[in-house]
Structure 1
Amino acid sequence: MVLTHKYKSLTILGSGLAASLLGFESHATAFDTCPSKAYLFQANPVKVYGVNLVTGSTSLLQGDTGLNANINGVGFDFDGRYIYGYDTTNKRIVRLGKDFQAEILNTSGLPTDHTFYVGDVYESVYYLYRKGKGLFTIDLTPLESDSSSVLTVNRVTTRAVVNLTDFAFHPSDGKLYGIDNNSGALYSFDASTGQETYIGDTGETGTFGAGYFDVDGYYYVSRNQDGQIYRIDLSPGNATNISNGIVPAVKFADGPNSNQNDGARCANAPVIDEDSNIDFGDAPTTYQTKLADNGPRHELDGSTWLGDSAPDGDQDGRANNLADDETGIDDENGVGFVTAIEPGLDSIVRVNASTSGYLSAWFDWNQDGDFADDGEQVFADQQLDAGNNDLIFTVDAAAFIGTTWSRFRFSQQTGLDYFGGSTSGEVEDHEVAVTGEGLSVRYYPSATDYATVAYEDNWPYTADYDMNDVVVSYRITEILRDDNVVKSKIEGHLGAVGASYHNGFAIRLKGLNRTDVDAATTRLIKNDVQAESSGLEAISNEAIFIISEDTSEYKLESCEFHRTLMSCAKEDVQLNFTLHVNIVDGTDTTSLMAMPYDPFIFATPGYYHGEGYFQPGRKWEVHLPNYEPTEQFDADMFSGLGRDVSNAATVPTSRQQKTYRGLY
């Protein structure tokens, strides 16, 4: 319903103040209850949104308040159950009820030389603040008997030095709280004097245009620039930290951004309704499961969930004292572990999704009660299709044997952490067992260092042995069961490309056949994206993996070469790779060559690669010293060219592909 205001007005101006007398035929209708939802006022003309602070979801409640104006400085009056605000366009006070139609109020003494953007209501008094102008109050009790009463505006103090864009009353201590936008400092304000008190640094800056409290004393602020909602623990139970200035603003959810933003909420209400439509986790409390710990939660959107049925709503994380699948609907059935979970090895998990969306997942590998350690996130925004999705992940090589916890979050949002709110989807926490008797790990050159190989691509000629045509750094992790290699992980990056010729880079695991490789789980990841192929060369009987068919692809247009010239030396690495080689169960790997295996370069097929041959492709290779070529190499093609003196029939392997001086 849109109210049409017909009124007569008498305005008396003087000393920068105004008195407006207005007569109405209709008035706003009070809210029925103290609602848990927060209200966000945005834009000009103003639009009113409902905000779920727990998840960050928003919905438009009113697109037409009956005013062609912006309303700011809003606050909820718990006693009268109205929202009060300041009309910044026409410089007047308004109130809104449950239909969000603006009713203009009569006032006396309201300044006309400036506007207000900061306000809140407490015990039937409306407080307004403007930096450099002061703190003002308006007693609202006359409206209880006569909605046309003239409300008197009083200035409490002229002191107003903190740069605020909103503040809010704490439901317990009766003080106002707000964040200085420039410094991120949190202040409290004495409502009777306006005196500010510095509390501490929140660690966040920006225009915090909307601020709200909940009944437990948590302070929520919404930043205009990005819509992010932060929470500050100002609850009575956190008094020690507050007195010591420890008041960090913790990201709580993602909301809407706006350049004109203000918020109001009934601070005496909990943030979750009794008929909650929010899904929480149920791992032990150390995993940040509870809302008080900013635990993971998803607003049920009716279409995005894990398993064969939509989850039911929870009041809070159950922290495994009464698991979620033991109350209401058994909705913890969307994740199934297909294979054993063993340190250093790959495992398969089957995730059933109701629709397409994004999955993120974590495992507590070191069993320390959290998901915060490096390597504990195994999926980040993994895109799922509707139905079953079989996903491969690598168990941390240092994972402890025993029982631990995992967390899976499925949503239409990306960038979720193991905590915090989401506007859609579901969270499932699962207890898992890590097994692995007889497993051991070995590294080359070490668990943290890299070995570097540098190649010259001019062979069999020796014109420019600068050894920078292809430079690669890599390391290897082997997982062994009873001294037999069951998996090898090779990770590295392309360090430089100083060649005019086109060269590929590959790694041979001599002693291992292509059929010994588990093709279903072996995979190659380039720049954090899984490649369509693992790189296992189909034309070879040996296990040879093509990491890059053409390293020249990673040269930037602005540079003739990649990371070899001073002018381009500060280029970022363009190729990072991780190769997971899983070996078929039961394969005897005693004949597998020792690390560092056999990394080599080859001529990219279809390109010229030097005098004496046109496009040699895979028939041309350069290996490390004393490593013989692969089965794809053609020795006859190079016989008599350049400085080559190798002869497979008469020269030992140690002299193959060398000049008479031993250059390679």
Structure 2
Amino acid sequence: MSRLLTAALLTTVSPFAIAAPFETCPSKAYLFQSSPVQVYSVNLVTGSTTLFTNDVGLSNQGINAVGFDNGTGDGVGFEEKYIYGFEKTRKKVVRLDKDFQADVIKVSGLPNNYSFYVGDVYDRYYYLYGPGRGFYRVDLTPLDSDPNAKLTAETISTSAPLGITDFAFHPGNDELYAVNNSNGKLYEIDTNNGSTKYIGSVGVTGTFGAGYFDVNGYYYISRNQDGDIFRIDLSTQEKIDSGSVTAVKFADGPKSGLNDGARCEDAPVIDEDSTIDFGDAPDSYKTLLASNGPRHEVGTGYYLGLVAPDSEGDGLISPLDDNKAGSEDEDGVGFVTAIEAGNTAIISVQASTTGYLSAWLDWNQDGDFEDADEKIVSDSVLNAGTNTLSIAVPSDAAVGSTFSRFRFSEQAGLDYFGGATTGEVEDHPVTVMKSGTTLVHYPNERGYATLAFEDNWPKEGDYDMNDVVIRFRITETLDENNQATRILISGYLSAYGAGYHNGFAMRLPGLNRVDIDNAQTTMKHNGVVQESNGMESDATEAIFVITDDLKQKVPAECNYYRTAQYCQEEIAFEFEIDIYPHDGVSTYGLMDMPYDPFIFATPGPYVRDGLWYNPGRGLEIHLADQAPTEKFDAYWYGWWSDAGNPAENRYFKTSANLPWALLINDAWKWPQEHVDLIAAYPEFAGYAETSGVNNTNWYMDEKATLGTVFEPEE
């Protein structure tokens, strides 16, 4: 019988004809509370709830033993998604549609005059468990072809010894799990005979009236008396077999004397329409959802700064952070004074409304916020607008780079991890300094400058100036004599439209290799310390090769990484060089920031068009009028479009003064692939012709020709 004909027949014979099934497998959990029943959706990640209905179409004392049927069985017919439960007034099985309207289903074989409050649905069977009454299952597939079918309950066991108030099926191994209320023991229940297997202690007790799984195998239990939602990691069989199944506080949910829960176990806990803000510090600080990282429901009016937070599917660790992946909303916290060991630091915090702020700072730089003195703000009440806080910096705080975390919400008592129903979390890198030192930033403390290269030198090429686009900033630590004792260079690859392979490096003119403390200097890629700090050992100058092949750092899905409008890949490569000159080395001769960033041809067999050999490291492209390094191959001066003349200190320019590299002390939207720079920014021609005297604002967004520049869609 066709689906269409079956539907037509049901309109005349079935009480379920107007019952609309769930169309998808929702990420939300459903919580049934109170008498008469109230149905809520629960965001397990944050604990926020929304009342769906307090009227399910039946006069009832409540619905319990609920389970979500995701329609994945082998029955014929509709196999649509519904919620099944047990209604306490009639002591009957009911089915609820997507509007949570309930209809009674005829089922025989269950104990008379008994209200089940433990149940779940899996693989088209509705399972019911009555402590002291027995364990039963009901085949739901007859309803696919006849919504009026009378179902029969099969007795699995007449013994039901566990003191449980809900259970849930694991989507990965098909097993049934429950936590004993009185002793916190986790059990696996055999659905063939009702026997139980002890797994381990979850470490918490209480009346766990609602239990849910997500598609990754995490088990969530909600405690009636305080609403606390706990998560148990059963994501792999190895973890289950280990017996290490400690429940961790995951979010604050609603409390109730009557709780039961249903959820589609095949759904991720966060859907594509996420309304959650996460942190972005390294995951050692508990940032990702898998680590129970901090997260807040957005759109509630509680946030830090002037820009409300955008939504994320998870924490954004290196090479991404919140400002790279979405709107630049990490604007709520400002460090007014330097953070100096043994002194008091002043922090400015902008709040959208009155709420609670807690904050942490990793003073000993061990990669966590767990130490006793690292909570620097505890439930401080902020007013709407600017708030000034004083922080005592421990005298033994480790000098160098570390992380801080700020959480703002209408909720008090937040830890540095876990869910919150409102607010925002901001993670900020900070530098702890010795007393008497100062920090100098380029282009500023939070922003990035933009480097853009055309890699066809000595040819002009298509001049779209997007072959390599890098955003970077530099921070110098100066002692009381204005000597640079530390240089921190950080940045990321923002676009790569080149067909060629290019390396990227930074020279510190005025310093030599022997001036650098090689043992203390480090380099990180995507937050991971590399074996080499990148300093060239065969050069006299202090030259740091960040990578010798940027092309290997970009995803392979698209040839025009973030230069063609349809190539919208995420940021994939972030770097940091932490440079320490030797004690006593004079840095007065060091070139002013931003020093000398440049690209070079990746050494290897690949030869660039028009060149009869590959110069490799010897082919460098620098900013206009910046002399190349000692490793540059001077043979190529004056070829094709190059009008460089070392005698006149003229480098990397055409005869029309067009450079092969640009430096813009701000964010900049580069041209799309194969769009000439002057076509995208017409005022650049006048800027180049006058060597930068005229049209100094040529790069501003409003100066760009419509439809010619790359627009990220994050």
Distance 2:201 2:415 in 1: 24
Give the match for residue 58 of structure 1: 49
Once the 2 structures are TM-superposed, how far is the Cα of residue 401 of structure 1 from its aligned partner?
0.3
Offset, 1:346: 1.0
| Counterpart code for 1:291 | L
2:65 and 2:152 map into 1 onto residues whose CA distance is 17
Do 1:338 and 1:349's aligned partners in 2 also have CA atoms closer than 8 Å?
A: yes
For the residues of structure 1 that align with 2:309 and 2:128, how far apart are their CA atoms?
44
Counterpart Cα distance in 2 of 1:123 and 1:394: 58
**How far off is 1:299 after superposition?**
0.4
Match of 1:39 in 2: 30
Amino acid at match of 1:352: Q
* Superposition pairs of residues 182-221 of structure 1, within 5 angstroms: 182-221=182-221
For residues 25 and 359 of structure 1, what CA distance do their matches in structure 2 show?
A: 51
Q: Is 1:395–2:386 an aligned residue pair?
A: no
Write the distance in 2 (CA, Å) between the matches of 1:165 and 1:129: 9
Deviations 1:91-134 (A, max 9, x none): 10001011000011111122114221000000000000011221
CA displacement at 1:226 relative to structure 2: 0.2
The aligned residue for residue 422 of structure 1 is 420
Q: Percent identity?
A: 58
In structure 2, what residue type is equivalent to 1:135? F
Give the letter aligned to residue 199 of structure 1.
I
Instruction: State the shift of 1:27 in Å.
Output: 4.8
Distance in 1, Cα, partners of 2:329 & 2:137: 51
Determine if contact 1:301/1:423 at 8 Å carries over to the other structure: no
Give the aligned partner of residue 148 of structure 1: 148
**Aligned partner (choices 24, 35, 40) of residue 49 of structure 1:** 40
- In the alignment, what sits opposite 2:292? 294
TM-score normalized by structure 2? Answer: 0.57
Query: What is the alpha-carbon distance in structure 2 between the residues aligned to residue 23 and residue 427 of structure 1?
Result: 51
Bigger CA radius of gyration: 1
In 1, the alpha carbon distance for the partners of 2:366 and 2:238 equals 26
Letter in 2 for 1:258: S
Report the equivalent of 2:59.
68
Distance in 2 separating the partners of 1:388 and 1:357: 13
Give the residue type in structure 1 aligned to 2:423.
G
Q: Which residue of 1 aligns with 2:246?
A: 248
CA distance in 1, matches of 2:229, 2:370: 21
Look up the SS of the partner of 2:290 in the other structure: helix
Number of the residue aligned with 1:339: 337
Would the aligned equivalents of 2:199 and 2:243 in 1 still touch at CA under 8 Å? yes
Superposed counterparts of 1:269-418, under 5 Å? 269-418=267-416
Cα deviations across residues 557-600 of structure 1 (Å, max 9, x unaligned)?
xxxxxxxxxxxxxxxxxxxxxxxxxxxxxxxxxxxxxxxxxxxx
- Cα contact 1:163–1:181 (8 A) shared by 2: yes
Q: Secondary structure at the match of 1:154?
A: strand
TM-score between both structures, scaled by the size of structure 1: 0.62
Equivalent AA in structure 2 for residue 62 of structure 1: T
3-state SS, counterpart of residue 348 of structure 2: strand
Query: Per-residue deviation at 1:64?
Result: 0.4
Q: Which position in structure 2 is the counterpart of 1:77?
A: 69
> How far off its partner does 1:321 sit?
2.0
1:316/1:25 Cα in 2 relative to 1: closer, same or farther (>3 Å)? closer
> Once the 2 structures are TM-superposed, how far is the Cα of residue 24 of structure 1 from its aligned partner?
3.1
One-letter code of the match for 1:136?
A: Y
Instruction: Give the Cα–Cα distance (whole angstroms) in 2 for the partners of residues 181 and 254 of structure 1.
Output: 19
CA RMSD of aligned residues (A): 1.6
Q: CA deviation at 1:242?
A: 2.5
CA contact (8 A) 1:402 1:434 kept: yes
Output the CA distance in 1 between the equivalents of 2:367 and 2:136.
Answer: 49
Deviation at 1:88, TM superposition (A): 1.6
Letter of the structure 1 residue corresponding to residue 226 of structure 2: D
1:119 aligns with 2:110: no
Is residue 2:259 matched to residue 1:267? no
Partners of 1:245 and 1:95 lie apart in 2 by 36
Contact preservation (8 Å) 1:28, 1:95: no
Cα shift at 1:424: 0.5
> What is residue 158 of structure 1 aligned with on the other side?
158
Cα displacement (A) at 1:397:
2.3
Displacement of 1:342 after TM fit? 1.3
Classify the secondary structure of the residue corresponding to 2:142: helix
Tell me if the contact between 2:200 and 2:245 (Cα under 8 Å) persists in the aligned partners: yes
Answer yes or no: is the 8 Å Cα contact 2:16–2:103 preserved in 1. no
Is the 8 Å Cα contact of residues 343 and 435 (structure 2) preserved in structure 1? Answer: no
**Which letter does structure 2 place at the counterpart of 1:124?**
R
CA distance in 2 between counterparts of 1:23 and 1:276 reads: 37
**How many positions carry a matched residue from both structures?**
418
Q: Which amino acid aligns with 1:234?
A: L
Q: Does 2:89 align with 1:98?
A: no
Larger fraction in strand: 1
Give unmatched runs, 5+ long, in structure 2: 1-12, 72-79, 438-478, 481-714
- Does structure 1 conserve the Cα–Cα contact (< 8 Å) formed by 2:16 and 2:147? no
Alignment of 1:432-581 (within 5 A): 432-437=430-435
Helix, strand or coil at the partner of 1:428: strand
